[in-house]
Amino acid sequence: MRRREFIGLLGATVAWPLALRAQQNAKLPTIGILGVANALGWQPLIAVFVQRLSDLGWVEGRNVSIEYRWADGHSERFAELADSLVRLNVDVIVTAGGAVVPAKQATTAIPIIFAVASDPIGTGLVASLAHPGGNVTGLSVQAAELAGKRVELLRQLIPNLRRLAIIANPDYAAAAREISEVQAASRAFDLETKLFEIHEFKDISTAIEALKGSADALYVCIDPLTDTNQISIAKWTTAARIPTMPAFRDAVRAGSLMYYGPNTEDLFRRAADFVDKVLRGTKPADIPVEQPSKFDLVINISNAKALGIIVPQALLVAADEVIE
C-alpha cells in the first residue's frame, strides 16, 4: 500500500469515531411532557404517543429525548413544572387540560401542544381554531358541550332518574363551564341537581358519603383531581351503589357504570403528529387546532346488574365497549 493511501485510510479511520462521538454528544431534540395526573394514570396515553412518534421516525433515546414532569393531580404545581421544562430549554412541551394555560404563561417561545384542552379560544390559548397564532396549538375537547349527551344517556339507562348529583371543582375553569351545561341539560329533562364541591382528595370521599340516599345517579366533571383519583371514585361509588357517569374512561373499567366522550388515547396519538410537524420546523401558529373524531360509549354491564339496572338493547348495540 502506498504511503499516501495509508495516511488517507488512517485519517478516515480516526475521523469516523470522532464524527460518531460528536453525533452522540449532540443535543437531541427534547420533548417535555407535563402530565396533569401521575405516570401510572397517563401510561396508556404516553404509550400510544411514543408509538406514534416512532411511526413518524422519532425514537426515544435515538434521535429524540423526552423529559417527564408529573403534577399528580395538584394543579398548584403546574406553573412550577412548566418552568422547569422551560429552564431545560426543551424543543416542545406536550400537556393537557388545566396545565396548558400555566405552560403558556411560562413561555411564549417554546412550542406547546395540548393533547386535550377545553375551550382553547375562550381560555385565550389560541386566537382561533383555524389560525391559532402564538406558540400554542393542539386538540380541543369541548367537555361542556358533551354534558347534554351524557345526561341524556344517563336518562336512557335509568328511566326513574330524578335526582342527579354533580361532583366538581368549580375553581377549575373547564369544570365550572361543565357544571353549567349539566345543570342546563338536567332542567331540560326535569331533573333536580345538587352540586358537591371538591377541592382536594379528602373532599371526594366526603362528597360521595354525603350524596348517599340523596341522588339517583352521579355525574363527575373533568378535572385534574378527578383524573388522578378516578379509580378511587369508581371504587367508592360502586361500594355506595351509586350509578356514575365518570369524566374518564378508565373509571368504567374500574367499576363505574358508563362513560361517553372522546377517545383520549386517540387524541394523544394525534398529538404526536403535531409534535412531528413542530420538530420538522412548522410553527404552532400555522397548525390549526383539531377536534376529536372518535367518541366512545363504554358500559359496565356487571355494575349495571349489581345496581339492578337493565341496559336497553339499543345502548348495548351502540356501545363501543361493554365490560362484563
Q: Using one digit for the tens of pLDDT, what is the confidence trace for 281-318?
A: 999 999 999 999 889 999 999 999 999 999 999 999 99
What pLDDT, on the 0 to 100 scale, is given for residue 26?
Answer: 63
37 vs 31: which has the higher pLDDT: 31
Instruction: Sort residue 61 into left (φ over 0), alpha (ψ -120 to 50) or beta.
Output: left
Distance from C-alpha of 128 to C-alpha of 138, rounded to nearest angstrom: 12
pLDDT(22) > 80? no
Radius of gyration, CA atoms only, the chain: 24
Dihedral sign for Cα atoms in the order 268, 274, 277, 283: negative
d(CA 194, CA 168): 11
User: For position 24, what pLDDT does the model report?
Assistant: 45
Measure CA 323 to chain center: 22
Question: What is the SS3 assignment for 279?
Answer: helix
pTM listed for this prediction: 0.78
For residues 255 and 98, which has the higher predicted lDDT (pLDDT)?
255
Neighbouring residues of 10: CB distance < 8 A, sequence distance ≥ 6: none
Kindly list the structural domains of the chain, giving each domain's residue range(s) and its CATH number in brackets, ordered by start.
Answer: 24-141+263-293 (3.40.50.2300), 143-262+296-323 (3.40.50.2300)
Where does the pLDDT of residue 117 fall: very low under 50, low under 70, confident under 90, or very high at 90 and above? confident
The dihedrals phi and psi of 12, each to the nearest 5 degrees, come to: -65, -40
**Cell 364541591 -> residue:** 197
Q: What's the mean pLDDT in 112-127?
A: 89
- Rounded to the nearest integer, the mean pLDDT of the chain is 89
More confident residue, 7 or 44: 44
Task: Determine whether 97 is exposed, middle or buried from the number of CB atoms within 10 Å of its CB (0-12, 13-18, 19+).
Answer: buried
Q: What is the pLDDT of residues 186-197, one digit of tens each?
A: 999 999 999 999
Mean pLDDT of the region 218-237: 88
What three-state secondary structure class fits 255?
A: coil
Which of 15-19, 158-162, 268-272, 278-282 is the least confident region? Answer: 15-19
Residue 179 scores a pLDDT above 90: yes
- H helix or E strand, kind and range, residue 299: strand 295-300
Query: What pLDDT digit, counting tens, does each position of 60-108 carry?
Result: 999 999 999 999 878 889 999 999 999 999 999 999 988 999 999 999 9
Residue type, 314: A
Helix (H) or strand (E) holding 166: strand 163-168
User: Sign of the CA dihedral 120, 102, 65, 51?
Assistant: negative
Q: Average pLDDT in the 176-190 region?
A: 93
Cell of 46: 404516553
Instruction: Tell me the mean pLDDT in the region 218-227.
Output: 88
Nine cell digits for residue 261: 366522550
Query: Residues 258, 264, 267, CA angle at the centre, nearest 5°?
Result: 150
pLDDT at 18 > cutoff 50 = no
What is the sign, positive or negative, of the torsion defined by CA atoms of 181, 176, 37, 95? positive
Confidence tier at 144 by pLDDT (50, 70, 90) = low
Q: What is the pLDDT of residue 143?
A: 63
Question: Does 5 score more than 90 pLDDT?
Answer: no
Using CA atoms, how far apart are residues 136 and 99, in angstroms rounded to an integer?
Answer: 12
pLDDT at 231: 85
- Give the three-class secondary structure for 236: helix
| Residue 75: per-residue pLDDT | 81
- For residue 21, the model assigns a pLDDT of 39
